[in-house]
Amino acid sequence: MDGAIHAEDTWTVAGRSFRSRLIVGTGKYKDLEETAAAIEASGAEIVTVAVRRVNLSDPKAPMLQDFVDPKKYTYLPNTAGCHTAQDAVRTLRLAREAGGWNLVKLEVLGPPPTLYPDMVHTLQAAEALIKDGFEVMVYCADDPVAAKRLEELGCVAIMPLGAPIGSGLGIQNPAMISMMIEQAKVPLLVDAGVGTASDAAIAMELGCDAVLLNSAIAMAKDPIRMARAMKHAVEAGRLAYLAGRMPRRMGADPSSPLTGLIRR
Protein backbone atom coordinates (compact mmCIF):
# COMPACT_ATOMS: atom_id res chain seq x y z
CA MET A 1 0.00 0.00 0.00
CA ASP A 2 1.01 3.62 -0.08
CA GLY A 3 2.69 3.25 3.30
CA ALA A 4 5.33 1.05 1.67
CA ILE A 5 6.09 3.54 -1.11
CA HIS A 6 7.50 6.10 1.26
CA ALA A 7 8.42 3.87 4.15
CA GLU A 8 11.90 5.35 3.94
CA ASP A 9 10.64 8.94 3.89
CA THR A 10 11.32 9.66 7.53
CA TRP A 11 12.02 12.90 9.33
CA THR A 12 14.28 13.39 12.31
CA VAL A 13 13.95 15.65 15.30
CA ALA A 14 16.47 15.73 18.13
CA GLY A 15 18.09 12.57 16.80
CA ARG A 16 14.85 10.58 16.75
CA SER A 17 13.39 9.48 13.42
CA PHE A 18 9.68 9.19 12.70
CA ARG A 19 7.66 7.88 9.77
CA SER A 20 4.47 9.75 10.52
CA ARG A 21 4.55 13.45 9.74
CA LEU A 22 1.45 14.10 11.78
CA ILE A 23 1.73 15.05 15.45
CA VAL A 24 -1.56 15.15 17.30
CA GLY A 25 -2.75 16.70 20.52
CA THR A 26 -4.64 14.70 23.12
CA GLY A 27 -6.92 17.49 24.37
CA LYS A 28 -10.60 18.33 23.89
CA TYR A 29 -11.83 14.77 23.31
CA LYS A 30 -15.11 13.49 24.75
CA ASP A 31 -13.30 10.87 26.81
CA LEU A 32 -10.06 8.91 26.96
CA GLU A 33 -11.46 6.06 24.84
CA GLU A 34 -12.14 8.49 22.01
CA THR A 35 -8.70 10.06 22.48
CA ALA A 36 -7.05 6.67 22.10
CA ALA A 37 -9.10 5.67 19.06
CA ALA A 38 -8.49 8.97 17.26
CA ILE A 39 -4.75 8.85 17.88
CA GLU A 40 -4.60 5.28 16.62
CA ALA A 41 -6.51 6.27 13.47
CA SER A 42 -4.24 9.26 12.85
CA GLY A 43 -1.14 7.07 12.65
CA ALA A 44 0.74 9.66 14.73
CA GLU A 45 3.87 8.57 16.56
CA ILE A 46 4.21 11.72 18.66
CA VAL A 47 1.41 13.10 20.84
CA THR A 48 1.34 16.33 22.80
CA VAL A 49 0.26 16.21 26.43
CA ALA A 50 -0.25 18.74 29.21
CA VAL A 51 1.05 18.61 32.77
CA ARG A 52 -1.50 19.29 35.50
CA ARG A 53 -2.11 18.69 39.19
CA VAL A 54 -3.58 15.29 39.99
CA ASN A 55 -7.12 15.34 41.32
CA LEU A 56 -6.60 14.36 44.95
CA SER A 57 -10.29 13.74 45.50
CA ASP A 58 -10.39 11.13 42.74
CA PRO A 59 -6.97 9.44 42.65
CA LYS A 60 -8.28 6.35 40.88
CA ALA A 61 -9.68 8.33 37.94
CA PRO A 62 -8.40 6.89 34.66
CA MET A 63 -5.19 8.49 33.47
CA LEU A 64 -4.06 9.32 29.95
CA GLN A 65 -1.21 6.78 30.16
CA ASP A 66 -3.75 3.99 30.67
CA PHE A 67 -5.20 4.75 27.22
CA VAL A 68 -2.30 6.23 25.27
CA ASP A 69 0.72 4.05 25.99
CA PRO A 70 3.87 6.14 26.45
CA LYS A 71 5.89 3.13 25.30
CA LYS A 72 4.08 3.18 21.97
CA TYR A 73 3.80 6.95 21.47
CA THR A 74 6.42 9.62 22.11
CA TYR A 75 4.87 11.99 24.63
CA LEU A 76 5.62 15.61 23.89
CA PRO A 77 4.80 17.53 27.07
CA ASN A 78 3.72 21.13 26.50
CA THR A 79 3.84 24.31 28.54
CA ALA A 80 0.21 25.29 27.95
CA GLY A 81 -0.86 27.79 30.58
CA CYS A 82 2.68 28.98 31.34
CA HIS A 83 3.23 32.69 30.91
CA THR A 84 6.85 33.04 31.96
CA ALA A 85 10.15 31.27 31.41
CA GLN A 86 10.14 30.26 35.09
CA ASP A 87 6.69 28.62 34.82
CA ALA A 88 7.73 26.78 31.66
CA VAL A 89 10.95 25.43 33.17
CA ARG A 90 9.16 24.36 36.35
CA THR A 91 6.38 22.59 34.43
CA LEU A 92 8.73 20.76 32.08
CA ARG A 93 11.05 19.67 34.86
CA LEU A 94 8.03 17.93 36.37
CA ALA A 95 7.17 16.47 32.96
CA ARG A 96 10.70 15.16 32.60
CA GLU A 97 10.44 13.45 35.98
CA ALA A 98 7.00 12.02 35.17
CA GLY A 99 8.00 10.84 31.73
CA GLY A 100 11.74 10.50 31.85
CA TRP A 101 12.53 12.29 28.59
CA ASN A 102 13.58 15.74 27.54
CA LEU A 103 11.85 16.37 24.20
CA VAL A 104 9.27 19.07 24.89
CA LYS A 105 6.95 21.54 23.22
CA LEU A 106 7.39 25.11 24.37
CA GLU A 107 4.46 27.46 23.99
CA VAL A 108 4.13 30.77 25.75
CA LEU A 109 0.95 32.50 24.70
CA GLY A 110 -0.41 35.99 24.82
CA PRO A 111 -3.96 36.74 25.99
CA PRO A 112 -7.24 35.83 24.26
CA PRO A 113 -8.78 36.30 21.79
CA THR A 114 -5.71 35.54 19.67
CA LEU A 115 -3.55 33.48 22.08
CA TYR A 116 -0.81 34.63 19.73
CA PRO A 117 2.70 33.38 20.64
CA ASP A 118 4.41 35.76 23.05
CA MET A 119 7.81 35.80 21.39
CA VAL A 120 9.65 37.78 24.09
CA HIS A 121 8.77 35.23 26.75
CA THR A 122 9.10 32.32 24.31
CA LEU A 123 12.71 33.32 23.56
CA GLN A 124 13.51 33.67 27.27
CA ALA A 125 11.90 30.33 28.09
CA ALA A 126 13.65 28.57 25.19
CA GLU A 127 17.01 29.78 26.44
CA ALA A 128 16.28 28.65 30.01
CA LEU A 129 15.01 25.23 28.91
CA ILE A 130 17.94 24.54 26.60
CA LYS A 131 20.32 25.50 29.40
CA ASP A 132 18.48 22.97 31.58
CA GLY A 133 19.07 20.18 29.04
CA PHE A 134 15.72 20.12 27.27
CA GLU A 135 15.28 19.56 23.54
CA VAL A 136 12.79 22.22 22.59
CA MET A 137 10.26 22.12 19.79
CA VAL A 138 8.92 25.64 19.84
CA TYR A 139 5.52 27.06 18.93
CA CYS A 140 6.10 30.51 17.48
CA ALA A 141 4.80 33.36 15.44
CA ASP A 142 5.22 33.29 11.66
CA ASP A 143 8.15 35.61 12.23
CA PRO A 144 11.33 34.58 10.38
CA VAL A 145 13.51 36.84 12.55
CA ALA A 146 12.29 35.34 15.82
CA ALA A 147 12.45 31.86 14.29
CA LYS A 148 16.10 32.38 13.36
CA ARG A 149 16.90 33.43 16.93
CA LEU A 150 15.12 30.36 18.29
CA GLU A 151 17.10 28.16 15.96
CA GLU A 152 20.35 29.86 16.98
CA LEU A 153 19.48 29.28 20.64
CA GLY A 154 19.33 25.56 19.84
CA CYS A 155 15.64 24.77 19.42
CA VAL A 156 15.24 21.42 17.65
CA ALA A 157 12.09 22.31 15.68
CA ILE A 158 10.41 25.56 14.71
CA MET A 159 6.61 25.45 14.77
CA PRO A 160 4.87 28.57 13.49
CA LEU A 161 1.12 28.91 13.56
CA GLY A 162 -0.96 28.73 10.38
CA ALA A 163 -3.80 30.53 12.18
CA PRO A 164 -4.73 31.08 15.85
CA ILE A 165 -4.92 28.01 18.10
CA GLY A 166 -8.23 26.20 17.83
CA SER A 167 -9.51 28.56 15.13
CA GLY A 168 -9.53 26.03 12.29
CA LEU A 169 -8.99 28.90 9.86
CA GLY A 170 -6.42 27.02 7.80
CA ILE A 171 -3.02 28.17 6.57
CA GLN A 172 -3.47 31.95 6.47
CA ASN A 173 0.18 32.73 5.81
CA PRO A 174 1.50 30.37 3.13
CA ALA A 175 4.03 32.86 1.77
CA MET A 176 5.60 33.47 5.17
CA ILE A 177 5.57 29.77 6.05
CA SER A 178 7.37 29.07 2.75
CA MET A 179 10.03 31.66 3.51
CA MET A 180 10.52 30.20 6.98
CA ILE A 181 10.90 26.71 5.48
CA GLU A 182 13.56 28.07 3.09
CA GLN A 183 15.58 29.48 5.95
CA ALA A 184 15.13 26.70 8.53
CA LYS A 185 18.01 24.34 9.29
CA VAL A 186 15.90 22.30 11.74
CA PRO A 187 12.48 20.73 11.07
CA LEU A 188 9.71 23.24 10.49
CA LEU A 189 6.15 22.27 11.39
CA VAL A 190 2.88 24.11 11.15
CA ASP A 191 1.37 24.03 14.62
CA ALA A 192 -2.15 25.44 15.05
CA GLY A 193 -4.71 26.65 12.57
CA VAL A 194 -5.44 23.48 10.62
CA GLY A 195 -9.21 23.05 10.32
CA THR A 196 -9.67 20.24 7.85
CA ALA A 197 -7.74 17.77 5.73
CA SER A 198 -6.96 20.15 2.85
CA ASP A 199 -5.31 22.58 5.30
CA ALA A 200 -2.93 19.86 6.45
CA ALA A 201 -2.20 18.95 2.83
CA ILE A 202 -1.44 22.59 2.02
CA ALA A 203 1.02 22.81 4.91
CA MET A 204 2.79 19.69 3.66
CA GLU A 205 2.76 20.88 0.03
CA LEU A 206 4.55 24.03 1.16
CA GLY A 207 7.36 21.76 2.35
CA CYS A 208 6.75 21.51 6.09
CA ASP A 209 8.45 18.53 7.73
CA ALA A 210 5.30 17.71 9.68
CA VAL A 211 2.02 19.15 10.94
CA LEU A 212 0.83 19.42 14.52
CA LEU A 213 -2.88 19.64 15.19
CA ASN A 214 -5.47 18.86 17.84
CA SER A 215 -8.81 20.64 17.50
CA ALA A 216 -9.29 19.76 13.83
CA ILE A 217 -9.62 16.12 14.87
CA ALA A 218 -11.04 16.45 18.38
CA MET A 219 -13.73 18.98 17.41
CA ALA A 220 -14.82 17.23 14.20
CA LYS A 221 -18.25 15.63 14.29
CA ASP A 222 -16.58 12.25 13.81
CA PRO A 223 -13.08 12.57 15.26
CA ILE A 224 -11.96 9.06 14.33
CA ARG A 225 -12.86 9.56 10.68
CA MET A 226 -11.21 12.99 10.65
CA ALA A 227 -8.09 11.44 12.17
CA ARG A 228 -7.96 9.08 9.19
CA ALA A 229 -8.52 12.00 6.83
CA MET A 230 -5.61 13.89 8.40
CA LYS A 231 -3.34 10.88 8.08
CA HIS A 232 -4.07 10.67 4.36
CA ALA A 233 -3.92 14.45 3.88
CA VAL A 234 -0.47 14.70 5.41
CA GLU A 235 0.74 11.78 3.30
CA ALA A 236 -0.86 13.24 0.16
CA GLY A 237 0.60 16.68 0.81
CA ARG A 238 4.04 15.21 1.40
CA LEU A 239 3.89 13.13 -1.79
CA ALA A 240 2.73 16.16 -3.78
CA TYR A 241 5.61 18.20 -2.36
CA LEU A 242 8.11 15.49 -3.28
CA ALA A 243 6.52 15.02 -6.71
CA GLY A 244 6.77 18.74 -7.47
CA ARG A 245 3.64 20.47 -8.68
CA MET A 246 3.16 21.59 -12.27
CA PRO A 247 3.73 25.27 -12.98
CA ARG A 248 0.71 27.53 -12.81
CA ARG A 249 -0.17 29.17 -16.13
CA MET A 250 -2.63 31.77 -17.21
CA GLY A 251 -5.03 30.20 -19.65
CA ALA A 252 -5.84 26.71 -20.76
CA ASP A 253 -3.59 24.10 -22.29
CA PRO A 254 -5.51 21.17 -23.77
CA SER A 255 -4.80 17.77 -22.30
CA SER A 256 -5.66 15.90 -25.51
CA PRO A 257 -3.59 16.30 -28.68
CA LEU A 258 -5.06 18.52 -31.36
CA THR A 259 -3.59 16.43 -34.16
CA GLY A 260 -5.30 13.42 -35.75
CA LEU A 261 -8.80 14.76 -35.27
CA ILE A 262 -11.37 13.17 -37.54
CA ARG A 263 -12.66 15.55 -40.22
CA ARG A 264 -15.70 15.61 -42.36
Partner 1 sequence: MQTSLTVSINGERRDLTGPLSVAALLDTLGLDMRKVAVERNMEIVPRSTYAATLLADGDELEIVHFIGGG
The residues assigned a catalytic role are 105
Q: If you ran DSSP here, which 8-state letter would residue 200 be given?
A: H
Give CA–CA dist 88/79, Å, rounded: 6
Which residue, 27 or 207, is less far from partner 1 as judged by CB?
Answer: 27
In the list 6, 16, 90, 232, the residue contacting partner 1 (rule: CB under 8 A) is 90
Give CA–CA dist 138/126, Å, rounded: 8
Helix (H, G, I), strand (E, B) or coil at 104: strand
* Region near partner 1 per CB under 8 A, out of 47-55, 172-180, 197-205, 248-256: 47-55
Which residue, 65 or 124, is less far from partner 1 as judged by CB?
Answer: 65
**Interface map 163-182 toward partner 1 (x if CB under 8 A):** --xx----------------
* 30 part of the interface to partner 1, by CB under 8 A: no
Give CA–CA dist 137/71, Å, rounded: 20
| Residue 213: closest CA among 197, 237, 224 | 197
* 112 part of the interface to partner 1, by CB under 8 A: no
CB-CB neighbours of 142 under 10 Å? 22
Give CA–CA dist 45/11, Å, rounded: 12
Cβ–Cβ under 8 Å, residues 104 and 79: yes
In the list 28, 72, 131, 225, the residue contacting partner 1 (rule: CB under 8 A) is 28
Site for partner 1 in 55-74 (CB under 8 A): 56, 59-60, 63-65
Site for partner 1 in 210-249 (CB under 8 A): 214-215
Q: What residues make contact with partner 1 under the rule CB under 8 A? A: 25-29, 32, 35, 48-54, 56, 59-60, 63-65, 75, 77-78, 80, 90, 93-95, 97-99, 165-166, 214-215
